[in-house]
Amino acid sequence: MQEKTIGQIREEYKAAGDGMLPSFIETYETDRRSGVEKLVEQARKRLEKLAAERARIEELKKYEREYDTYDYICGIDEAGRGPLAGPVVAGAVILPKDCGILYINDSKKLSASKREELYEEIMEKAVAVGVGMASPARIDEINILQATYEAMREAISKLSVKPDILLNDAVTIPEVPIRQVPIIKGDAKSISIGAASIIAKVTRDRLMVEYDKIMPEYGFASNKGYGSAEHIAALKVYGPSPIHRASFIKNFV
């Protein structure tokens, strides 16, 4: 049988999923062509990174293991407490006990494309996902903290399964009769809270991109409503839009 070219082996490597790496290495590790040796080395490094990521994810399940006696453990987080425009969005996520999703992290530590990818995977594999929002008008009416709590309560109410315990990013939500565990920087310490942070962030970012199509002058697609220099300059030129938070923009208009 004719020997495969390095180009063919390279294409094979590119197409190889994580699970196929060990057999790729086994097949080609005795091939002494330098191009193939490099590909085998790349495959080994990929496997090492994968092992490290699996170990990190196991560490992220620390709180989920601690409260393992509860059937439905729900992570809660929000996105959009700081922007000048747009709603605050809360995510509530119940993951399966044997959750194998890799790369979950505090959404701020992930690229936009990775967040989008993980959003789809979480939506597909989670036991239940709930999303809640509080509008800019509601934020002005009751303040950002109370509006965040309201969005979180709504997210919990939209879950198709009632959670037995809530793991929250730093806060204790009033008027919720379920046991709560507030965890400081929880989105980087709990896989459930990390998943909720991704759901909240992607939901809100997508919404701001839609607002940008209606009101392009503020640059919402890029700044997501946060107070960038361009956003503040646009506010001074055009004044506030219907989605600006009046209580947040007093210093600019």
Each residue's pLDDT tens digit, 10-26:
999 999 988 899 999 99
Domains of the chain and any CATH numbers: 6-60 (no CATH), 63-211 (3.30.420.10)
Ordered DSSP codes for 131-150 = EEEE-HHHHHHH-HHHHHHH
Count of alpha carbons within 13 Å of 186, Cβ hemisphere only?
25
Q: Give helix 6-15 / helix 34-60 axis angle, nearest 10°.
A: 10
pLDDT at 3: 85
CA distance 119 to 121: 6
Q: Give 204-241 pLDDT, tens digit per residue.
A: 999 999 999 999 999 999 999 999 999 999 999 999 99
Is residue 182 classed as helix, strand or coil in its secondary structure? strand
Model confidence band, residue 253 (pLDDT cutoffs 50, 70, 90): confident
Mean pLDDT, rounded, of the chain: 96
Average pLDDT for residues 65-80, to the nearest whole number? 97
Whether 1 shows a pLDDT value over 60: the answer reads no
CA distance 174 to 185: 19
Other CB atoms within a 10 A radius of the CB of residue 190 amount to 28
Confidence class for position 251, pLDDT limits 50, 70, 90: confident
Q: Residue range 178-201: average pLDDT?
A: 97
What mean pLDDT is predicted for residues 47-68?
95
pLDDT over 90 at 42, yes or no: yes
The whole-angstrom separation of Cα 2 and Cα 100 is: 40
Residue 168's pLDDT is what? 97
Q: For the residues 144-161, what does the mean pLDDT come to? A: 98
- The whole-angstrom separation of Cα 203 and Cα 87 is 11
Q: For the chain, what percent of residues have pLDDT higher than 90?
A: 94
Per-residue model confidence (pLDDT) at position 136: 98
